[in-house]
Amino acid sequence: MTVTAKESGQEDTSGPGDAYVPSARRLERERYKRTRARRATAIAALSTLVTAAVLYLVVVGAPGWPRTKETFFDGRYAREALPKVLEGLWLNVRLLLVCGAAVLVLGMLIAVARTLRGPVFFPLRVLAAAYTDFFRGLPLIINLMIVVLGVPALRLQGVTVDPVLLGGTALTLTYSAYVAEVFRAGIESVHPSQRAAARSLGLSNRQALRYVVLPQAVRRQVPPLLNDLVSLQKDTGLVSIGGAIDAVRAADIIVGRSLNYTPYIVAGLVFVALTIPMTRFTDWVTARMDRQRAQGGTT
């Protein structure tokens, strides 16, 4: 970068003869920096190429590659699978939206219940702690089996037997336990002085939590929350235990008929493609929140 006259502390007399001329030493330094940058780029490119070439040769040179290729990368099956997988994916997306919202609300309620002070709330704290312990420990697949296949067996009047609704309930139970812990960690990471300051300004305990502690807690916990949401997005597929056809099960059906694995690859890529925009979106939200805080906080 070059430095303007103003920055280098010289008088800006705006005469044509007095234009700033960078010194020879400065030019030399800049040239040197440029060559270093070029060299670094060249080395990075070369090492990337070598790595890619080695991986390519190892995979394609493997004796089983032709067989693997037709079993996992068959264009005909990819074309057949894509529409069916996307149709199934719609179920995953709907489950993600509904369960995601429910999980955030429920997780927040449980986290707040666990951090309430005062002896009167003791049973609530114990219940919330027991809930998180139990549902974090219970394997999701078993939770789903119990809810999706067990609840209808009770033959309760007015309780749904729809496998998607039941599966969504099971997902919400497990994931709200995870998310509650994330929120709780966030709440406890806010320095006690914040709460004390809020209380000394005359805010009630509830107001301090609502306006001072929670906003900071949630902002800090965006990355782990996103982790849990991406994880939830992939686990929505497990509701297929109850017979619903999601993206993975749609692939499964074609695989079972044809004994060709390409549909699994298609389903996998579709899920990855769904995760990437989600990650970018949350990065953008976090950046925006940071900017707002920087503008509003310091002056």
Partner 1 sequence: MHLAPRVLRRAVAGATVALLATAVGCAPQPEDDAAAKPSGSTADACARGALATETAGKLTVATDQPAYEPWFKDDKPSNGEGFESAVAYAVAEQLGYDKSAVVWQSVPFNKAFAPGAKTFDFDINQVSISDERKQAVDFSSGYYDVRQAVIALKDSKAAKAKSLADLKGLKLGAQVGTTSLGYIEDVVKPTAQPAVYAKNDQAKSALKNGQVDAIVVDLPTAFYITAAEVTDARIVGQFENRGGTPEQFGLVLDKGSALTPCVTAAVDTLRKNGTLAKIEQQWLSDAVDAPVLK
Residues near partner 1, by CB under 8 A:
36-37, 40, 47, 50-51, 54-55, 58, 61-64, 67-68, 70-71, 149, 152-153, 155, 161-163, 240-245, 249, 252-253, 255-261
Residue partners of 87: CB distance under 8 A and separation at least 6: 245, 250
Q: Which is nearer to partner 1, 116 or 253 (CB)?
A: 253
Q: Which is nearer to partner 1, 100 or 163 (CB)?
A: 163
Q: Which is nearer to partner 1, 223 or 243 (CB)?
A: 243
Q: How far is the CB of 60 from partner 1 (least distance, A)?
A: 11
Q: How far is the CB of 117 from partner 1 (least distance, A)?
A: 44
Q: How far apart are CA 243 and CA 241, in angstroms?
A: 5
On whether the CB atoms of residues 125 and 114 are closer than 8 A, the answer is: yes
Q: Which is nearer to partner 1, 22 or 66 (CB)?
A: 66
Q: How far is the CB of 280 from partner 1 (least distance, A)?
A: 24
Q: Which long-range contacts (CB under 8 A, 24 or more apart) does 251-260 make?
A: 251/81, 251/84, 251/85, 251/88, 253/84, 254/77, 254/80, 254/81, 254/84, 258/77, 260/70, 260/71, 260/74, 260/77
Q: How far is the CB of 110 from partner 1 (least distance, A)?
A: 30
Q: How far apart are CA 53 and CA 140, in angstroms?
A: 40
Q: Which is nearer to partner 1, 174 or 240 (CB)?
A: 240
Q: How far is the CB of 119 from partner 1 (least distance, A)?
A: 45
Q: Which is nearer to partner 1, 62 or 126 (CB)?
A: 62
Q: What's phi and psi for 213, nearest 5 deg?
A: -80, -55
Burial class of residue 186 in the structure, from the number of CB atoms within 10 Å of its CB (0-12 exposed, 13-18 middle, 19+ buried): buried
Q: How far is the CB of 189 from partner 1 (least distance, A)?
A: 27
Q: How far is the CB of 240 from partner 1 (least distance, A)?
A: 7
Q: How far apart are CA 123 and CA 130, in angstroms?
A: 10
On whether the CB atoms of residues 271 and 233 are closer than 8 A, the answer is: yes
Q: Which is nearer to partner 1, 67 or 136 (CB)?
A: 67
Dihedral sign of CA atoms 63, 68, 73, 75 in order: positive
